[in-house]
Amino acid sequence: MSDNPGQTPIPLQREREHTVKLLIDHYAADNLTVEEFEGRLDSAYAAATRADLDTLRQHAEAVFDAMKDVEGVIDLHVEPQVLVPQIVVRVRPDATERFTIALEHARLALRLQGDTRRTMIEFRKHLGWYTKGLPHASELRKRLFQVESITEAEGIFGDYLCPMAQVA
């Protein structure tokens, strides 16, 4: 045993086994990628003292504090694992990214079903889904629900983004 209480070895085997089980459960539930899973396993096995574990927890809390007020973060929490705290973050894509994805989605539908007026009319509801949570989304959806071509949708998205670019 060390003379430094922060460096006192702890019964890591039991805690590691518990952490590894939690990580396996998260991985099995598709909450972690292979890379995340392997990285967190490495961290769990690398921690050797309570001070190491406290440092990991403090880092997670510092990241949480730094990110909690970042615009676009819609889901942020520290998942308190026994050994390795995990930070979970979801970020809301901005309007430009949403519209890019929406138009790519529309082009795929047109390619699959044929570049017809009917395809775009059927696709209107999908365009509306990409506007959820945006400022003035109701007005934007009203305009999108009237499009008959992808060119019209591109114009509406462009009109929406143009005033936003001038404000920024």
| DSSP conformation class of 92 | P
Report the predicted TM-score, pTM, of the whole model to 2 decimal places.
Answer: 0.49
Torsion of CA 35, 43, 63, 9, to 10 degrees: 170
Question: Alpha carbon 20 to chain centroid distance?
Answer: 24
Q: For residue 9, what are the β-bridge partners?
A: 49
Predicted local confidence at residue 16, as pLDDT: 72
Instruction: Give tens-digit pLDDT for 127-152.
Output: 999 998 888 999 999 999 999 999 99
What is the chain's length? 168
Domain residues of the chain, as ranges? 5-91, 95-167
Task: Tell me how far apart the alpha carbons of residues 27 and 40 are, in angstroms, rounded to a whole number.
Answer: 11
Task: Tell me how far apart the alpha carbons of residues 31 and 34 are, in angstroms, rounded to a whole number.
Answer: 10
* Higher pLDDT pick, 70 / 122: 122
Predicted local confidence at residue 37, as pLDDT: 81
Fold for the domain defined by 95-167 = 1.10.1200
Task: Tell me how far apart the alpha carbons of residues 99 and 105 are, in angstroms, rounded to a whole number.
Answer: 10
